[in-house]
Amino acid sequence: MKGRRIDLLMVLPLFGILSLGLVTLSSALSYNPQRLYAQLVWVALAAAAFLFVTYRPLRMWENLAVPFYLATLLLLSLVLVIGKKVGGAYRWLDLGFMNLQPSEFAKVAVILFLAARLNQKPTLQDGYKLADIVPETVAVLLTMTLIYAEPDLGTSLLIAFVALMVILSTKINTRHLIALIIITVVSTPILWKFVLADYQKRRITAVATMVFRGASDESLSSRYQTEQSVIAVGSGRMSGKGYRAGTQNIFRFIPEHHTDFVFSVYAEEFGFAGGMLLFAFYLLLFYRMLEIVPLVRDKFMALVTVGTVVVLWLQVVINIGMVTGMLPVVGIPLPFFSYGGSALLANSILVGLVHNFSINSRYR
């Protein structure tokens, strides 16, 4: 069966998210148009990557999974040695003409690696035992360790959850799954005591405080960034203040308002109605990708699709959660919306892969 050339149900919502993001960034970066021009270049590169990934042979990506994973490990290691320090963390490689963030590509590498490895294993009726997935578990833990050392706890935990969902999608033996849960619960106090830094403990404590008791005055005093973001989101009301009319944005009360907190700029200027439009685009994109899962040819394609939906969905939930004050700040950008090239390029590769599966799979 000859494949289609484009899946409009996937491309149109993606285009909608990108367009709304660029409009918002043109407002957020009105004081520095050079950054907006740089983002436009990244969008062009991301579009080229999307098209390249879409129209290359399907099996090529499964064959490249392990080499791509190893190359990402090398980049993550180089970050710790020669990485560029920003805000107390080593997360970027300075290439002269651009800064590259390998942890963003680690999300792609882990998903491809797990999908390729698990596709080579037979699907067992009772599910995999823990011993069956030791190499895959080690690979994920190694990636998490390198990212955590930057330090970047948020991305490290994000990769852990995505990897868990990909593995669970193939079915895990019930008894071994229970054993894994017990191991996780038992090891949590050890991680808390000897692994987590003080500021990371404070972030987790802040989440627990907000969930069970509500934020205290002391916690609010140290959350200026979140406070200003919540003010911006709330002041947008139903229809927003209008393009480039948001006071929190114009007077730059919100730090990092073009990266992690760009949604606050959007919500202030376009209000609840604009937020619902953006969410609708995300939901349409995710729904279309999930529709593809039972229709693809093999387990590799299905697992890559599941991993892509999970990693993008989690980033949306976490970013909106921290912008609205429901979650602590963990430095997770809003996919296809926030300023930044590495995340945009990595996410475009993942969605390009799913688009490739969509237009080339032989549907049942």
pLDDT of residue 138: 92
What average pLDDT does range 264-289 have in this prediction?
95
Report the residue count for the chain: 364
Question: Which of the given ranges, 227-241, 246-260, 312-326, has the highest pLDDT on average?
Answer: 312-326
Q: Which residues make Cβ contacts (< 8 Å) with residue 316, sequence separation at least 6?
A: 282, 334, 335
Residue 38 has pLDDT above 60, yes or no: yes
Distance CA 146, CA 205 (A): 24
What average pLDDT does range 131-153 have in this prediction?
89
Q: What is the pLDDT of residues 42-90, one digit of tens each?
A: 999 999 999 999 988 888 999 999 999 999 999 999 999 988 877 667 7
**Which amino acid is it at 124?**
L
Q: DSSP secondary-structure letter at 293?
A: G
Residue 222 has pLDDT above 50, yes or no: no
Q: What is the pLDDT of residues 85-127, one digit of tens each?
A: 776 677 888 887 778 899 999 999 999 999 999 888 876 666 6
pLDDT of residue 13: 97
Phi, psi of 353 (to 5 degrees): -60, -45
pLDDT of residue 88: 67
Tokens of 128: 């995999």
- The predicted model scores a pTM of 0.87
Residue 212 has pLDDT above 70, yes or no: no
Residues facing residue 84 across a β-bridge:
92
**Domain locations along the chain:** 8-360
pLDDT of residue 120: 85
Report angle CA 361, 362, 364 to the nearest 5 degrees: 125
pLDDT of residue 271: 92
pLDDT of residue 230: 84
**Which amino acid is it at 218?**
E
What average pLDDT does range 352-361 have in this prediction?
90
Phi, psi of 120 (to 5 degrees): -80, -15
Give residue 173's pLDDT band: very low, low, confident or very high (50, 70, 90).
Answer: low
Distance CA 158, CA 307 (A): 11
Question: Which of the given ranges, 104-108, 217-221, 238-242, has the highest pLDDT on average?
Answer: 104-108
pLDDT of residue 248: 79
Closest CA to 168 of 180, 186, 185, 154: 180
Give residue 176's pLDDT band: very low, low, confident or very high (50, 70, 90).
Answer: low
Q: Which residues make Cβ contacts (< 8 Å) with residue 10, sequence separation at least 6?
A: 285, 288, 289, 351, 354, 355, 358
Q: Roughly what angle, to the nearest 10 degrees, separates helices 299-323 and 153-168?
A: 140
DSSP assignment of 330-352, as one string?
--PPPTTTSS-HHHHHHHHHHHH
pLDDT of residue 144: 93
* 133 CB neighbour count, 10 Å cutoff: 20
DSSP assignment of 89-144, as one string?
EEEEEE-SS-EE-HHHHHHHHHHHHHHHHHHHSPPPTT-B-GGGGHHHHHHHHHHH
Q: What is the pLDDT of residues 157-172, one digit of tens each?
A: 899 999 999 988 887 6
pLDDT of residue 162: 94
Residue 12 has pLDDT above 90, yes or no: yes
pLDDT of residue 348: 97
pLDDT of residue 221: 37
Q: What is the pLDDT of residues 306-352, one digit of tens each?
A: 999 999 999 999 999 888 888 877 778 999 999 988 999 999 999 99
pLDDT of residue 196: 64
Instruction: Assign 84 to helix, strand or coil.
Output: strand
Alpha helices in the chain (DSSP H): 8-28, 33-54, 58-63, 65-82, 102-120, 134-148, 153-168, 174-194, 198-212, 217-221, 224-235, 247-250, 262-292, 299-323, 341-360
Residue 129 has pLDDT above 90, yes or no: no
